[in-house]
């Protein structure tokens, strides 16, 4: 049973690859490269030293943009969630900007920062900032009043109330928000690299299409994007299992 549970998650992937290969074999006019052609494309990138270079370039931009958003959006969101007057004052402007796609900012980011890393990092920052600030505000708002009242009854100061009650209570919801924001950031960096920079996995896809219709490398870039995104998501999901962050679940 343990072996079956370990194998089960890979069955859908294996089925998808099998169907993919059958479509390529049955279709005489090859519209898409097969799985083995894509594998050879990834090997070619590795041999040329481009595989690690492009993955690291994308991760570099995501890391800086995402961390800047986390370090600013979460403290501001917690502050606004705690002080309701501040939330009422700033929430309208937040809700105006929140529906605007980060990709709509590409022309402005290029105008401000030029074509390069700063433009992509700025777009990732925008993509992560607004979801995180909204998640932080809601996390504070959803704290049960009984927990806050219990902390006050035990004589906790304002700082102690934040560290011992508010922080552990909001962490489960913040972890979910961090996970979603990281996924959005990874989507945005790929789109930004297709326009605003000349390296990274997004650039690989566009460059492979323009330089001789190398669709094997186009699909290879898509596979690398998916695998890297999966690894990032697995890393974030592991945070949910840390005992120090599970206080708010109430079941442990």
- Per-10-residue mean pLDDT for the chain, 252 residues long? 68 83 74 85 90 92 94 89 81 86 87 86 92 89 76 73 76 86 89 82 87 84 91 83 58 43
pLDDT score, position 1: 61
Which residue range forms the structural domain that includes residue 141?
35-249
d(CA 216, CA 44): 10
Residue at 216 is within a domain: yes
Please state, in angstroms and rounded to a whole number, the distance separating the CA atoms of residues 78 and 20. Answer: 47
Contact (CB, 8 A) for 208 and 214: yes
Is residue 30 in a domain? no
Does residue 8 fall inside a structural domain? no
Among 244, 84, 97, 119, which Cα is nearest to 191's? 119
- Residue 25, in any domain of the structure: no
Predicted pLDDT of residue 250 = 47
**Assigned domain for 24 exists:** no
End-to-end alpha carbon distance in the chain: 26
The pLDDT score that the predictor gives to residue 30 is: 65
What's the CATH code of the domain at 200? 1.10.3720.10
Is the residue at 19 inside a domain?
no
What's the number of domains the chain is made of? 1
Does 18 reside within a domain? no
pTM value surpassing 0.85: no
In a domain, 88, yes or no: yes
pLDDT at 251: 45
């Amino acid at each position: 049973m343990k072996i079956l549970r370990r194998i089960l998650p890979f069955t859908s992937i294996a089925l998808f690859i099998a169907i993919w290969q059958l479509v390529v074999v049955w279709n005489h006019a090859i519209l898409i490269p097969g799985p083995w052609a894509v594998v050879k494309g990834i090997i070619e990138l590795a041999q040329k030293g481009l595989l690690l270079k492009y993955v690291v370039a994308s991760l570099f931009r995501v890391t800086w943009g995402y961390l800047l958003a986390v370090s600013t959006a979460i403290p501001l969101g917690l502050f606004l969630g705690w002080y309701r007057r501040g939330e009422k004052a700033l929430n309208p402007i937040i809700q105006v900007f929140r529906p605007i796609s980060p990709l709509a900012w590409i022309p402005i980011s290029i105008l401000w920062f030029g074509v390069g890393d700063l433009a992509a990092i700025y777009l990732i920052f925008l993509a992560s900032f607004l979801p995180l600030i909204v998640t932080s505000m809601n996390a504070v708002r959803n704290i049960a009043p009984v927990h806050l009242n219990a902390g006050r009854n035990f004589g906790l100061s304002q700082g102690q109330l934040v560290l011992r009650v508010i922080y552990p209570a909001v962490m489960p919801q913040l972890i979910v928000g961090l996970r979603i924001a990281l996924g959005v950031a990874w989507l945005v960096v790929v789109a930004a690299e297709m326009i605003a920079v000349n390296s990274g996995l997004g650039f690989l896809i566009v460059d492979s299409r323009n330089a001789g219709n190398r669709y094997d490398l186009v699909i290879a870039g898509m596979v690398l994007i998916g695998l890297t995104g999966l690894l990032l998501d697995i890393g974030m999901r592991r945070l949910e299992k840390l005992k120090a962050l599970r206080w708010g679940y109430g079941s442990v």
